Structure formats: structure tokens, C-alpha cells
Amino acid sequence: MSNPDLHHKITYIEFVSTDIERTKKFYAAVFHWSFQDWGPEYVSFNGAGIDGGFAKCESHEEPVKFAPLVVLYSADLKATEAAIVAAGGSVVVPTFEFPGGRRFHFSDGAGNVLAVWSE
């Protein structure tokens, strides 16, 4: 099922955390976000105005590992991927499946890495 109203809109953002439990407690206490665990290394959140998640990481030493990952929605994942490549971008993480859909990560060629997902 696709949602044309969300096509190419930002629908999700991912952060990293060195301590998932501490992260959950902090954001629940301060901002009243709610969480869903997806195993020991990933938790999603809602109640922040945009849905998102925190992935477990070992340290914040490498900037690419702790920069937020902006995730856009696509009603047609293959067409969006083709448009990215045609415009000079590149796929940096090939399409993979996750609970709820599929996604890939791309570089815009100017230093930004984003992701696109679909059901």
C-alpha cells in the first residue's frame, strides 16, 4: 500500500545512541515521547511531531555515525532511486527490507546522505 500524499516528504529521522535505555528514559521524561523496541540495538519513537528511531552505536567518534539520518517516503522506490542517480546522486546502501517496508540510502553528491523508504 502506498501513500501518494507522502511521496518525497520527510516522514522519519534516525539518530544513534551509545545507550538505548538511557536515551529512552531521557526523551520520555523530558519530551514524553513513547517508544517501541525492535531488538536490543534499535528503538523507534513517536510523539515528537515526526516519527523516528535510535540505533545503537559504540561511540560518537565518527561524524557519519552520529549525524541524524533523514528518511523520505516514496510511493515508487525504484523510480525515486532512478531519479536520484539520473540527477547525479549515488546509492550508498542498496535497498534492504526492514519491518514495515524497504529502503535505501543515497548521497546527493554534496556531502549529504539521506534515505528513502516505501512499504
pLDDT tens, residue by residue, 24-40: 998 999 889 999 999 99
Domain ranges of the chain: 4-118
pTM of the model: 0.76
3-state secondary structure 47-63: CCCCEEEEEECCCCCCH
- CA dist 115 and 10 (Å) reads 10
Amino acid at 9: K
- CA dist 40 and 87 (Å) reads 38
SS3 content of the chain, % helix, strand, coil (to 5): 25, 40, 35
> Given pLDDT bands bounded at 50, 70 and 90, which one contains residue 111?
confident
Mean pLDDT of 104-113: 84
Look up the CATH number of domain 4-118.
3.10.180.10
Q: Give the 3-state secondary structure of residue 38.
A: coil
pLDDT in tens, 48-82: 999 999 988 876 555 455 678 999 999 999 999 99
pLDDT at 83 over 80: yes
